[in-house]
Structure 1
Amino acid sequence: DAYGAREILARLNHRLPAAPAAGTPLLRSAFYFKEALSVALDTTGAHASSAAVASTPVDVLLKLGAYKAFSELSPVLQFAHFTCVQAVLDELGGAGCIHVLDFDIGVGEQWASLMQELAQRRPGAALKVTALVLPSTHHPLELQLIHENLANFAAELGVPFQFVVFNLDSVDPTELLAIAGGDAIAVHLPVGSVHAAAVPSVLHLVRRLGAKLVISVDRSGDRGELPFAAHLLQAFQSCAFLLESLDAVGTEPDVASKIERFLGRVRAGAHKQLRRGAGRFTPEEGAGEGLPRGEARRIAGPALAARRAGVGVGMEMLKELP
């Protein structure tokens, strides 16, 4: 209902501050959601610069800088990356070539850590990373910089490395099957990284690939399986909690502002991204032969669960999918 949405936007513009720097975390979170609504209703492109997507080279550099600053501050992100890398090493550390299919590449720093461990523990072992991304969330320059950074670091360590990118909206699953043959495969599939309707088909593909490990990080705000209103509220609360945490840490104002502008927009736009089409991973005839909801836990055998009390992160590694 575009007309009703514009009425809501007009009321929010009247009640909320003109800039995110003013007010409580709750009000600042509301500002970013108001901004996301404004972008969604804009048909002229006038508010494109307010979107969470990096649309210019300068935006890309600002986004990467904000993400780097946040990764240095957040124990949650550090813990998630450490546990992710450790799970891969525990399950696939003896393989000659580890192939990671990543549905949420971020800036790729967790795979740099994996390279470092491989160089120390198993010299000569190769690493392949296949990133499955949406064009709406990753600028081509961003992916190029991620590739170059990882490739340069791999060269310094002497780790054979390959990086491939697929468009999640148009990828043909048979292409993934073709490039993954014979590799020891791990899948990085955070909660909310694909449309909820596509999850059974994605897990069906995971089974066909013969993946030995599936890593899923619960980021609490990504609840695409909920009804729209409930998911919107969940995302709003998650954004407010994030901003409250930034305030509590006592981060330098310029660093906090950089992180807030980027992550606030990402959280505010999350509900919209999760409700986009699922691309080629849509349910189709035969998908029911894969992994219906709840089936992954049943077939996985023993599951390794990592929990860190009080930080709101859950991670589950599903081993040895048949």
Structure 2
Amino acid sequence: MYKHPRQEIEAYSLPANSVGKRRYVPVHNSRKRYCTPESSSPDSPAHDVISNATVLVSHNNSAYEDTSGSCVTDDFNDKIKELETVMMGPDSLDLVLDYNDSFDSTSCQETNSWRSTLEAVSRRDLRADLVSCAKAMSENDLMMARSMMEKLRLMVSVSGEPIERLGAYLLEGLVAQLSSSGSSIYKSLNQCPEPASTDLLSYMHILYEVCPYFKFGYMSANGAIAEAMKEENRVHIIDFQIGQGSQWVTLIQAFAARPGGPPRIRITGIDDTTSAYARGGGLSIVGNRLAKLAKQFNVPFEFNSVSVSVSEVKPKNLGVRPGEALAVNFAFVLHHMPDESVSTENHRDRLLRMVKSLSPKVVTLVEQESNTNTAAFFPRFKETMDYYDAMFESIDVTLPRNHKQRINVEQHCLARDVVNIIACEGADRVERHELLGKWRSRFGMAGFTPYPLSPLVNSTIRSLLRNYSDKYRLEERDGALYLGWMKRDLVASCAWK
């Protein structure tokens, strides 16, 4: 798990309209009474329920002191009934229903919801428990959420089954979201001591090798670029997240073997701070590596570095020249751009309009096929769990569970994304994935039209997948390629002009 300061989680409080003036005091120092129904006495069952509930949910050894006398409301009495149901357990649910014939239909539905939740706990169904915890949070049922978190802590493990490993990071995100400290936790994770740059690069390389997701994205994008540039003599490629530059190795080799000789290639690489740390230096490292490769294959080559964040890129940074055929590559980068739901600047659509103004011959898009950008917390949680569950399962097939680097790979390459999606809101949530249908709409509004992918791309990727589990699947739909794990689409690739 991540190392970060333990976050204090505010104790469960009653609805605002049921509590008078309160002040926060430690439980172990408190000699005052807690909020109780008017009709209850220290010896009454209701008093015991409230006291026990306070102990159950006050994980930070604190509670609210009532300084305004009695605090009885109908909402509070309803909450007491729910507490009684939880504390008596699933075997007593029928007794509760028989005892209180005055429950209306809404109360019965709520009780059935409690029944489903508690039965899931008894089955130790981790997926259902995680969903139930997130649902309780989305409904502001903090008591139930905290109670389930205590159970979930006993069920997750960074060294267990795929869902147990993912569950550990999902739980981390839930705790951060519940304490309204998601942004600070995510920032603290980024400020924690990073592994040595060589180690981080090693983790990224392991993930690149054990799963075909990145290779699929790079190969499909390269295929579209090679097809569009097959008759061009001067080619300019703008890569908005060049990383280690590994995507362009195979394309340079392909251009070198082109009948009639290779074109003159110029690559403009835009920097990424994480990749800069992993490679141990600036973009000159990438440029020198690619220049050396191009020289080896007798390909005329030039490299242009742009060391600014993607959202700050302007046309003047890109050095577009007349007479060059322009290709623009968006591989796993656009989901980091804030859109209209985050900022009026809407860098996501602004960037697409800017690129269209450069008149590119082809633009490639590779993105994770997930819907978390504008989704509310609960559907966003379910989508994240479903998506990364498939990804963790695919890692489990290729990377043995006892592999000493597997935890490092998942922790440093995937877990922070999971925590960010679950725990952060607003501008602090930088992982904002959209389904390809939404990307189609954005590209269309920017003036782009689809660029058909070559059948050769499809066959090449199918050959690649023969080296991996047969549970991976490749589908071509509506001019785009989808790579999935079993029934779940994970990465989509397409091209535009």
TM-score by length of 2: 0.51
CA distance in 1, matches of 2:200, 2:155: 22
Equivalent residues in 2 for 1:42-191, closer than 5 Å: 48=188, 50-51=189-190, 56=194, 58-121=195-258, 122-123=261-262, 125-131=264-270, 133=272, 135=273, 137-140=274-277, 142=279, 144=281, 147-158=284-295, 159=299, 160-168=301-309, 171-176=312-317, 179-182=319-322, 183-189=324-330, 190=332
> What residue number does 1:204 align with?
353
**Match status 1:226 vs 2:404:** no
Change (3 A) 1:68 1:303: same
* Counterpart contact for 1:235–1:270, Cα < 8 Å: no
Say which structure, 1 or 2, has more relative contact order (CA 8 Å, 6+ apart): 1
Q: Secondary structure of the residue that 2:372 maps to in structure 1?
A: coil
Which of 389, 413, 430 does residue 263 from structure 1 map onto?
413
* Counterpart contact for 1:28–1:240, Cα < 8 Å: no
* Counterpart contact for 1:99–1:129, Cα < 8 Å: yes
Larger Rg: 2
**Match status 1:317 vs 2:457:** no
Change (3 A) 1:208 1:45: same
Change (3 A) 1:29 1:315: same
CA distance in 1, matches of 2:204, 2:247: 13
Farther-moved stretch of structure 1 (110-119 vs 227-236): 227-236
Q: Secondary structure of the residue that 1:196 maps to in structure 2?
A: coil
Change (3 A) 1:157 1:82: same
CA distance in 1, matches of 2:281, 2:387: 30
> What residue number does 1:195 align with?
338
CA distance in 2, matches of 1:101, 1:256: 33
Q: Secondary structure of the residue that 1:254 maps to in structure 2?
A: coil
* Counterpart contact for 1:104–1:193, Cα < 8 Å: no
CA distance in 1, matches of 2:237, 2:313: 17
> What residue number does 1:285 align with?
none
Q: Percent identity?
A: 16
CA distance in 2, matches of 1:119, 1:210: 26
CA distance in 2, matches of 1:278, 1:259: 22
Change (3 A) 1:213 1:124: closer
> What residue number does 1:288 align with?
none
Give the superposed CA RMSD. 4.0
**Match status 1:276 vs 2:430:** no
List, as ranges, runs of 4+ consecutive aligned residues in structure 1 with deviation greater than 6 Å: 4-11, 42-47
* Counterpart contact for 1:99–1:186, Cα < 8 Å: yes
Q: Secondary structure of the residue that 2:335 maps to in structure 1?
A: coil
